[in-house]
């Protein structure tokens, strides 16, 4: 059992849990994820690790309540426990001193971008972050992202906070204004990552996205998380979750994400 040490409501639909998981906390690296199961009858859901504290033996998990299981998860409180937490899973992010990097997070995607941006900063990069959400009340981790970024730009789709724009439009504006990016990471909803891939490919920037397709086992056995990358079938859980942004087939990914919408 994995005890919830702290719970924070970030937005009406977005919750943060700090969970006691010392074994995972000692090993996890930015970009990796865990698969959790609330109880014996619950489905297994993948969640990227938004932060970790090796001394405290804790993981920070941020999730959006979008279906039955995540709604149930959101009803748990401090002191409650999660039955299973398996991880760390997936390949860690490629962290090196690229030079100037763009860290682009849309909506709940800001959560997995945060530890990657922090690691890129620690590796010596100049970190330019662009974060955005549909509206002000859905924006998360602005303070945390500001602390580890050299510059930060905030957008909202409806203009209720920051600039009225999509994060990918802001990225393109910066490029047109003369910013030279040596690397970019973009995480968010599939349409955002597709647009991110378009911009980075257009300007010849090495770029990665982190995919979060439906997963079951998280260990490469079930095939549910398959994605098409560079014309080949890859498993997001073991071959990813990060892939070259320009190589992912986002239309197939969108179709697969919708398979269980009714359920």
- Residue number, 12 or 220, with CB nearest to ligand FES: 220
Query: For residue 36, how many other CB atoms are within 10 A of its CB?
Result: 26
Q: Does residue 215 interact with ligand FES by CB under 6 A? A: yes
Q: Does residue 218 interact with ligand FES by CB under 6 A? A: yes
- Residue number, 199 or 237, with CB nearest to ligand FES: 237
Q: Which of 202, 164, 165 is nearest to 181 (CA)?
A: 202
- Residue number, 76 or 216, with CB nearest to ligand FES: 216
Strand pairing category for 126-133 and 100-106? parallel
Binding mask 222-251 for ligand FES (x = CB under 6 A): xxxx---------x-x--------------
Only one of the segments 64-72, 154-162, 215-223, 253-261 lies at the binding site for ligand FES (rule: CB under 6 A); that segment is 215-223
Euclidean distance between CA atoms 214 and 210, whole angstroms: 13
As given in the structure block, the two tokens for residue 157 are 């789709």
Place of tokens 């955002």: 192
Strand pairing category for 33-37 and 45-53? antiparallel
Q: Does residue 217 interact with ligand FES by CB under 6 A? A: yes
- Residue number, 12 or 223, with CB nearest to ligand FES: 223
Q: Does residue 259 interact with ligand FES by CB under 6 A? A: no
Kind and range of the H or E element at 239? helix 236-239
List of residues contacting ligand FES (CB under 6 A): 215-218, 220-225, 235, 237
């Amino acid at each position: 059992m994995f005890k919830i040490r702290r719970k924070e409501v970030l937005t009406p639909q977005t919750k943060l849990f700090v969970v006691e998981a010392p074994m995972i906390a000692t090993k996890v690296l930015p970009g990796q994820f865990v698969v959790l199961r609330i109880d014996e009858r619950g489905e297994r859901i993948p969640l990227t690790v938004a932060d970790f504290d090796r001394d405290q033996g804790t993981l920070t998990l941020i999730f959006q309540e979008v279906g039955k299981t995540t709604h149930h998860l959101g009803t748990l409180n401090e002191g409650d426990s999660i039955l299973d937490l398996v991880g760390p899973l997936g390949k860690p992010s490629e962290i090196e001193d690229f030079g100037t990097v763009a860290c682009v997070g849309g909506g709940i995607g800001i959560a997995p971008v945060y530890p990657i941006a922090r690691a890129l900063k620690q590796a010596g990069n100049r970190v330019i972050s662009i974060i955005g959400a549909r509206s002000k009340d859905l924006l998360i981790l602005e303070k945390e992202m500001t602390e580890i970024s050299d510059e930060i730009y905030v957008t909202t789709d409806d203009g209720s906070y920051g600039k009225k724009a999509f994060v990918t439009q802001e990225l393109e504006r910066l490029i047109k204004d003369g910013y030279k990016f040596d690397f970019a990471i973009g995480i968010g909803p599939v349409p955002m990552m597709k647009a991110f891939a378009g911009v980075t490919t257009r300007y010849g920037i090495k770029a990665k996205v982190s995919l979060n397709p439906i997963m079951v086992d998280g260990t490469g056995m079930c095939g549910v998380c398959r994605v098409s990358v560079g014309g080949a079938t890859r498993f997001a859980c073991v071959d990813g979750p990060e892939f070259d942004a320009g190589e992912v087939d986002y239309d197939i990914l969108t179709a697969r994400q919708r398979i269980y919408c009714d359920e």
